[in-house]
Amino acid sequence: NAGVMQNPRHLVRRRGQEARLRCSPMKGHSHVYWYRQLPEEGLKFMVYLQKENIIDESGMPKERFSAEFPKEGPSILRIQQVVRGDSAAYFCASSPGAGNEQFFGPGTRLTVL
């Protein structure tokens, strides 16, 4: 039973480019969450999605960041016009339902040059 999968594991972008991070939840899980971890900081909640719906985006920056979880395919976290401050590890988690424990993927480490 495969766990949460994220790709790419490492992503390098130049300032102004777009970054697309993908997350495939565990089998049977329909709830997906994205978190960001800056160096020497804790995990910060970004967004919570169910299939085709954004449930809570209270942690998402208002500009340049967007997320989706389509009916078919992985969840996507998209960062437009990246800046150096976007460099961080981005983790995706999934759960079978709301309020359950969340299972995390290995993360995508984004470096903005």
Partner 1 sequence: EDQVTQSPEALRLQEGESSSLNCSYTVSGLRGLFWYRQDPGKGPEFLFTLYSAGEEKEKERLKATLTKKESFLHITAPKPEDSATYLCAVQAGTDSWGKFQFGAGTQVVVTP
Residues that bind partner 1 (CB under 8 A): 4, 31, 33, 35, 41-45, 48, 55-56, 58-59, 91, 93, 95, 98-99, 101-107
Residue nearer to partner 1 on the CB measure, 40 or 63: 40
- β-strand 5-7 against 53-56: which pairing, if any? unpaired
Shortest spacing between CB 42 and partner 1, in angstroms? 4
Bridge partner residues of 34 (DSSP): 47, 92
Residue 81: CB minimum distance to partner 1, A: 26
Residue 62 phi, psi (nearest 5): -70, -30
Distance of CA 90 to the CA centre of its chain: 6
In terms of CB distance, is 13 or 36 closer to partner 1? 36
Beta-carbon count within 10 A of 19 CB: 22
Judged by beta carbon, residue 76 or residue 89, the one nearer partner 1 is: 89
The nearer residue to partner 1, 17 or 96, going by C-beta atoms, is 96
Minimum distance, C-beta of residue 57 to partner 1, in the bound complex (Å): 10
Contacts of 10 (CB under 8 A, 6+ apart): 108, 109, 111
